[in-house]
A = this chain, B = another copy of it.
């Protein structure tokens, strides 16, 4: 499947390779953040043999291109997801490790307050909730 992101990259002179398109395709069709390892495993399962090094390199490349974003959660491993989606946050089950995206309406006041009290040039924020999911209770 050829996505807009892929076409954009191609227009910029980058190549459309199997690794790139399958990693991008996977991230685009997944509704929660993935780690390098999980991407590797999923691709292997669906028959795409890609070296883990390539995954790391591709993730770094996609980060540079601002096509994906890094999500820090409570593991050592970093998670990644497609950027430019509806602004959202994360909800992680501390028992099974599953992660869910959530959209909140009420964060406006928070951002305003933040801009009022800080002299930083704030570019982004991350918000995550942790608890136990219904299945693990």
Q: Known A-B contacts: A124-B130, A126-B128, A127-B128. Give 8 more (CB < 8 A).
A: A72-B72, A76-B78, A102-B114, A109-B109, A120-B134, A122-B129, A123-B130, A124-B131
A128 contacts B125, C-beta separation under 8 Å: yes
B125 engages A129 (CB within 8 Å) = yes
Give the oligomeric copy count.
Answer: 2
A132: chain B residues within 8 A (beta carbon): 120-121, 123
Flag whether A64 is at the interface (Cβ < 8 A).
no
Q: How far is the CB of A120 from chain B (nearest CB, A)?
A: 4
Bound state CA distance, A121 and B70, in angstroms?
A: 26
Asked if A107 and B104 make an inter-chain contact with CB atoms under 8 angstroms apart, the answer reads: no
Chain A interface, DSSP helix/strand/loop, else mixed = mixed
* Residues of chain A from 46 to 81 with CB closer than 8 A to chain B in the complex: 70, 72-76, 78
Q: Which residues of B lie under 8 Å from residue A75 when comparing CB positions?
A: 72
Q: Which of B74, B109, B122 contacts A72 (CB 8 A)?
A: B74
